[in-house]
Chain A
Amino acid sequence: MNTLSTQGQASQTLAWNMKLISHNELAGFGGVGEGINMQKTADGRRILWLAHESAPKNFTGVDVTDPKNPKVVVQTDLPHKDVRSNSLDVVGNIMAVAYQTKKWGLKPAGMDLFDISVPEKPKLISHFDASGPCSRGAHCVWFVDGEYVHLTSGSADFEPINEKDDQFYRIIDVRNPSKPTEVGRWWYPGTRKGDKEPPVPRHPKFDAGYRPHNTNIYPQRPDRAYIGYIDGGAVVLDISDKSNPKEVTRWRYSPPYNGFTHTVMPLFERGLWVVSDECVKDNGADWPKLAWVVDARVETNPVSIATLPLPPAENFTKRGGRFGAHNLHENLPVETSHRDENIVLGTFFNGGVRAYDLSNPYQPQEVAYYVPGAPKLSPAGAIQLNDVWWDDRGLVYTVDRFAGGLYILEMNL
């Protein structure tokens, strides 16, 4: 490493055009997964809801009405250590939380719906059970319209050919929140026992499975589901008939790349997608894990035209933990979420949170970043920023995977 650089020193905070305005370690449980959403309560408060990375905590609600002074208002526990929540979404006063178990057959596996009209006292409305002999339950929820939850989940009746392919895309009708009901599903052809298609090819080096990760649906195209399908690449489905989703396109770039497609975020006015991978190995073992800029003007022929430029891997892969792409701010179509077709925010584990200007998508430009110094007691020895939320006030909320908790930032863009 060059001696005139300090990028590789995990203790150093690096910042450009982002300023920390407050930090909250979440009562000592600072490990947060990839569920962030913001509620505006009837009495005018803003509650930021965070799903934890792993047990013992389930989710935490933080009052961020005054972002300089965030206050934990509620923090809940999981029933046991072999389940994690990881993902949540909020519409109005209803919150959907995912539950995924470490092994098949365990419970609770699936999804809870909570009434959070009183944020201090979340009230369980219903549990959607997705447990089963070959199911770990749900990893990820997408809930933006108050009517349907788009779920990455296994189920009791699903037996995969390969155990890594145990989750698929499920559409759950929650218009009656006390009785969530599956109305449609789609799985990658060749992953379920009994499929007539040949079994899918495994990634030769990093077999992470064929499962959906994020399943994104937007009001601009209510008939499309944009899915990061892990080793299956980016998948777009026609869901105009929810009971019968049909494949529109798939864009698979691994191998030669290292798999684990995480998020497919369309920028509708631009004819672009931003597709992020997830880095899942420490110390650069699965580098490069990238965020791709894709020309999707012809949706059946996506073409990658750039990747979001990252700082030098030779410095960051030695900084501790993971370094590479992960979650994006997904322009959630809800009131409390900032939506932007030009500026994209993502978290890159020890690479921090970074903002990119896509005005010229052939040459994305980094315009801001914040890399917190290593949080105390982090097993990675470095920050591992996991997820990001950009609120309608322009503030940026980002969370550490292990220990650091919540960082609230102001951008100068």
Chain B
Amino acid sequence: MANLILEPEARARDPLSGRIPVSVVTGFLGSGKTTLINKLLKRPDMNRVAVIVNEFGEQAIDNDLVQVSSEQMMLLNNGCLCCVLRGDLQETLRDLFVQRRTGEVIDFNRVVIETTGLADPAPVMQTLMTDTMLMAQYRLDCVVTLVDAINGLEQIETMSEPVKQAALADRIVITKSDLATEEDIGRLEQRLRELNPQVPIRRAVNGEIELAFLIDVGLRNTKAKLEEVERWMGEPEHGEHAHRHDERVKSFALRYTEPFSWNGFAQCLEVLTALRGPDLLRVKGLVNVADHKGPLVVQGVQHLFHPPVELEQWPSDDRSTRIVFITRGITKESVANLFSAVGAIVPASEP
């Protein structure tokens, strides 16, 4: 007799598609998060977005945008929704989805979360990558970090939060670029590249930025094409950089042509997270695992990893494993040694 409930592997649904994309906007105090979000919400093609803010402050949302509001939510003229973070993020996202389902709020198709200036984006990202209930409805699309062209460099040199915000970002926007000299911006850009060499950087003037730069960064389904994978992984490294001298944040890529065994690879990650979890700021990669048709997509933030997702097929002829690491003080050599020592690779061909 037929088994009514399908085993997970027999299910048809793509593990990535159909999830509502979530963008996280982070940046130090005064970096212009509110301005950027206000500008985005005025765009005609951003008309079904739910924005989660920390509070309805004086300038949280332009008053001329608001159509209807309640204590914790407002409907904007263009159809977007803005709500205040209640309790924790998990609860807010779950409530929003339920209210969307029951028709109490608009059927938003994207969520933008504005973090506080002092926030470490890691917990937000971890929530989206590991809460199984949220993962059924949402996916992390992009972490956008705003950096103030005037004060950004000093903040990075003197405080830890801006460093982490930059290191974890999928996209960096330099704000107030009209108020700084080209030389200052150049130095800031170089510093940001040291912290996060793969990240695409753009400059915004008065919150104006090309929307396409900020959305659809994460993989939308397992049929991802090469350009989508490259968009998510970030720009290829521009050779050996001065960033190697940075004491705090290191970034490197590992590449292996031989396939891994899944158990071996998982063991490597387990050892790495057990030993250096807090310093493993961000990991993104495609992994060639023996007996799998497509690459396994892995991504992690510190000690937590998203469950691996297998793409339907390799996006190009290049079937080598490539993993990008952004770490706090962990060197390329030590990770490479660990991978060899644990013996995950069927045989190691590189590095």
Across the two chains, which residue of chain B brings its CB closest to A2?
Answer: B104
Across the two chains, which residue of chain A brings its CB closest to B137?
Answer: A365
Residues in B with CB closer than 8 Å to A360 are 5-6
B79 touches A357 (CB 8 A): no
B55-100 contacts to A (CB < 8 Å): 68, 70, 73, 75, 79, 81
A314 to B105, CA, bound (A): 13
A4 touches B4 (CB 8 A): no
Residues in B with CB closer than 8 Å to A412 are 14, 17-18, 220-221
A340 to B102, CA, bound (A): 27
B9 → A minimal CB distance (Å)? 11
A361 → B minimal CB distance (Å)? 5
A315 touches B17 (CB 8 A): no
| Complex partner residue of B103 from A7, A270, A295, A361, CB under 8 angstroms | A7
Tell me, yes or no, whether A367 is within 8 Å of chain B by CB. Answer: yes
| Complex partner residue of A361 from B5, B13, B17, CB under 8 angstroms | B5
Tell me, yes or no, whether A297 is within 8 Å of chain B by CB. Answer: yes
Interface SS majority for chain B: loop
B107 touches A343 (CB 8 A): no
A4 to B153, CA, bound (A): 41
Given A271-B4, A412-B18, A2:B103 Cβ within 8 A: yes
Residues in B with CB closer than 8 Å to A295 are 4
Across the two chains, which residue of chain A brings its CB closest to B11?
Answer: A359
Residues in A with CB closer than 8 Å to B159 are none
| Complex partner residue of A343 from B12, B68, B101, CB under 8 angstroms | B12
Interface SS majority for chain A: loop
Residues in A with CB closer than 8 Å to B12 are 340, 342-343, 357, 359, 413
Could you mark each residue 359-380 of chain A with 1 if its beta carbon is under 8 Å from any beta carbon of chain B, else 0? Answer: 1111000011000000000000
Could you mark each residue 103-139 of chain A with 1 if its beta carbon is under 8 Å from any beta carbon of chain B, else 0? Answer: 0000000000000000000000000000000000000
Tell me, yes or no, whether A311 is within 8 Å of chain B by CB. Answer: yes
Across the two chains, which residue of chain A brings its CB closest to B136?
Answer: A365
| Complex partner residue of A4 from B6, B81, B101, CB under 8 angstroms | B81
A5 touches B4 (CB 8 A): no
Residues in A with CB closer than 8 Å to B1 are 271, 297
A3 touches B4 (CB 8 A): no
A239-283 contacts to B (CB < 8 Å): 269-272
Residues in A with CB closer than 8 Å to B221 are 412
A4 to B168, CA, bound (A): 34
Residues in A with CB closer than 8 Å to B81 are 4
Residues in A with CB closer than 8 Å to B70 are 4
Q: In this complex, which of B4, B68, B75, B220 has the most chain A Cβ atoms within 10 angstroms of its Cβ? A: B4
B41 → A minimal CB distance (Å)? 15
Tell me, yes or no, whether A17 is within 8 Å of chain B by CB. Answer: yes
Given A271-B4, A362-B5, A357:B103 Cβ within 8 A: no
Tell me, yes or no, whether A301 is within 8 Å of chain B by CB. Answer: no
B14 touches A342 (CB 8 A): no
Could you mark each residue 104-143 of chain B with 1 if its beta carbon is under 8 Å from any beta carbon of chain A, else 0? Answer: 1111010000000000000000000000000000000000
A307 → B minimal CB distance (Å)? 15
B6 touches A359 (CB 8 A): yes
Residues in B with CB closer than 8 Å to A314 are 103
> Could you name 20 residue pairs across A and B whose Cβ atoms are closer than 8 Å?
A3-B68, A4-B68, A4-B70, A4-B81, A4-B105, A15-B109, A16-B18, A16-B107, A17-B18, A270-B4, A297-B4, A357-B12, A357-B13, A359-B13, A360-B5, A360-B6, A362-B5, A412-B14, A412-B18, A413-B13
Complex A-B, nearest 6 residue pairs according to Cβ-Cβ distance, in ascending order: A271-B2, A312-B103, A342-B12, A359-B11, A359-B6, A3-B68
